[in-house]
């Protein structure tokens, strides 16, 4: 990719859903495409872009710039999400999903602005939860590549949500959540039978957000408007090649291409973007711990806990007697910082480190790590599997109950 870009170069527009767990896998995919000769236009929302820039340290930016220059050229653009600056975004997911449905005109205007310095657009790689890209791809006359940041089973479940609705499986009734006996087998291909508790939490009968329920049903129809389908998983994990074809509703190719973070990480390329400033002291702290001794505790970028739950967790970590590395985001306690039990830090200072954010792959790959207490978001689950780290699951919402059960049972 050295020299002048020409019309013969492939050009992928990559559009992530505006959340940390969606930006990272799509950035990893963009990096891998760039290494294979693509020019990349990466388009997050302005709010995401500002958070990423603010969190990035100087050495991280320098390292990223060197990586991009080495493998190809990237163009970073952004679009407004239409929400006020002080809106909670991922803390108010109903509003966020509604706002993403309206991103199409801004995205199309951005991509059709004259720019002779880049090749013509070859395709749009769209997060599966961005229905607005279907119309944009159609108007631009380019293929739409639907990218799932979840496991295959969740993707098939969501793409067939209207079948689940017609069969009476959603909305999920409270009595079904209390029973482990009911198995749902109406989904296509060789995926394991699912239980009512495995279905996306936003489809539960008493879920607090009617807007998210409606948005998910709407998105389910648009998921299947695709020319290609990609899933961040690997075939051996979920039913082989045939399972992926359950996402090929219209006969388009459907491929498992994960774990996407692994090749970049193993080859020393930094393709992980964080919305929080990463604490690099934790790696030195891990170096000083015995091999296989540390419990890593992290609940990802969105999951929250009550103050009572966090207080009990702190007491449990204190009582366990093992070294632990605990990630406490500034909004972990239902949108607020956590107040630790009185004297907790002093009592555990010889075997504990508490940070606001980490470079998770580096932590999971560290020889001192012995286990991972996780919310079982798909990225965290896949990364733990990739690094061979045992998991203790404490799911919060969405697909995390399914990921947790499969990590244990399948």
* Active-site option among 64, 81, 95, 127: 127
Active site residue 162: no
The CA-atom distances, in angstroms, between 247 and each of 128, 162, 212, 395 are 11, 14, 22, 25
Structural tokens at position 128: 């599966």
Q: 231 to each of 26, 39, 222, 250, 365, how far by Cα in Å?
A: 11, 21, 16, 16, 23
Which DSSP string corresponds to 135-176?
A: HHHHHHT--EEEEE-S-HHHHHHHHTHHHHHHTT--SBPHHH
The pLDDT assigned to 212 comes to 87
Q: How many CB atoms lie within 10 A of CB 258?
A: 25
The per-residue pLDDT for 369 is 97
Q: DSSP assignment, residue 121?
A: P
Using DSSP's 3-state secondary structure scheme, residue 33 falls into: helix
Helix (H), strand (E) at residue 311: helix 307-320
Give residues with Cβ within 8 angstroms of 242, minimum separation 6.
189, 190
Candidates 11, 22, 169, 366; catalytic one = 22
Q: What is the token pair recorded at 259?
A: 């774990």
- In the chain, the domains with their CATH numbers are 10-266 (3.40.50.2000), 281-409 (3.40.50.2000)
Identify any residues that bridge with 355 across adjacent strands, giving them in sequence order: 327
Q: What is the pTM of this model?
A: 0.90
For the chain of 410 residues, list the mean pLDDT of each consecutive stretch of 10. Answer: 55 95 93 91 92 60 48 82 86 87 96 92 96 96 96 92 92 86 83 88 78 89 92 86 80 91 83 71 95 96 91 95 94 86 94 93 96 96 95 94 88
Looking at residue 8, its pLDDT comes to 60
Q: Please report how the helices 210-223 and 93-100 are oriented relative to each other, as an axis angle in degrees rounded to 10.
A: 40
C-alpha 49/C-alpha 65 separation (Å) is 16
Q: What is the pLDDT of residue 56?
A: 59
Q: Are 184 and 194 in contact (CB under 8 A)?
A: yes
Let me know: does 111 contact 75? Beta carbons within 8 Å. no
* Nearest partner of 370 among 295, 316, 317, 319, judged by Cα: 295
């Amino acid at each position: 990719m050295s020299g002048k870009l020409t019309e013969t170069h492939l050009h992928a527009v990559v559009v992530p859903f505006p959340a940390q767990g969606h930006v990272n896998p799509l950035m990893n995919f963009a990096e891998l495409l760039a290494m294979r000769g693509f020019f990349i236009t990466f388009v997050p929302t302005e709010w995401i872009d500002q958070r990423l820039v603010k969190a990035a340290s100087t050495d991280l930016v320098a390292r990223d710039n060197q990586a991009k220059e080495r493998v190809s050229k990237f163009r970073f653009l952004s679009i407004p999400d239409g929400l006020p600056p002080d809106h909670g975004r991922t803390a108010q997911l109903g509003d966020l999903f509604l706002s993403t449905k309206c991103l199409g005109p801004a995205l199309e205007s951005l991509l059709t602005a004259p720019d002779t310095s880049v090749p013509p657009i070859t395709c749009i790689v769209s997060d599966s939860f961005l229905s607005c890209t279907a119309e944009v791809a159609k108007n631009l006359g380019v293929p739409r590549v639907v990218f799932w940041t979840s496991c295959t089973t969740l993707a098939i479940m969501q793409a067939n949500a209207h079948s689940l609705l017609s069969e009476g499986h959603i909305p999920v009734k409270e009595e079904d959540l209390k029973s482990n006996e009911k198995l749902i087998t109406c989904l296509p291909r060789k995926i394991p039978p699912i239980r009512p508790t495995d279905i996306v939490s936003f489809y539960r009968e008493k879920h607090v957000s009617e807007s998210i329920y409606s948005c998910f049903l709407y998105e389910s129809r648009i998921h299947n408007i695709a020319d290609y389908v990609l899933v961040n998983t690997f075939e051996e994990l979920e039913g082989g090649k045939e399972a992926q074809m359950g996402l090929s509703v219209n006969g388009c190719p459907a491929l498992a291409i994960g774990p996407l973070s692994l090749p970049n990480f193993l080859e020393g390329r930094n393709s992980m973007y964080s919305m929080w400033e990463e604490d690099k002291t934790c790696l030195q702290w891990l170096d000083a711990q015995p091999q296989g001794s540390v419990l890593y505790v992290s609940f990802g970028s969105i999951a929250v806990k009550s103050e009572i739950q966090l207080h009990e967790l702190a007491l449990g970590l204190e009582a366990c007697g093992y070294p632990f590395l605990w990630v406490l985001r500034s909004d972990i306690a239902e949108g607020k910082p956590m107040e630790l039990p009185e004297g907790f830090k002093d009592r555990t200072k010889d075997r504990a480190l508490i940070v606001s954010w980490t470079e998770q792959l580096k932590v999971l790959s560290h020889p001192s790590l012995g286990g991972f207490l996780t919310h079982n978001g798909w990225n965290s689950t896949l990364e733990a599997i990739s690094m061979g780290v045992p998991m203790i699951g404490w799911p919060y919402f969405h697909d995390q109950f399914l990921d947790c059960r499969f990590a244990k049972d399948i």
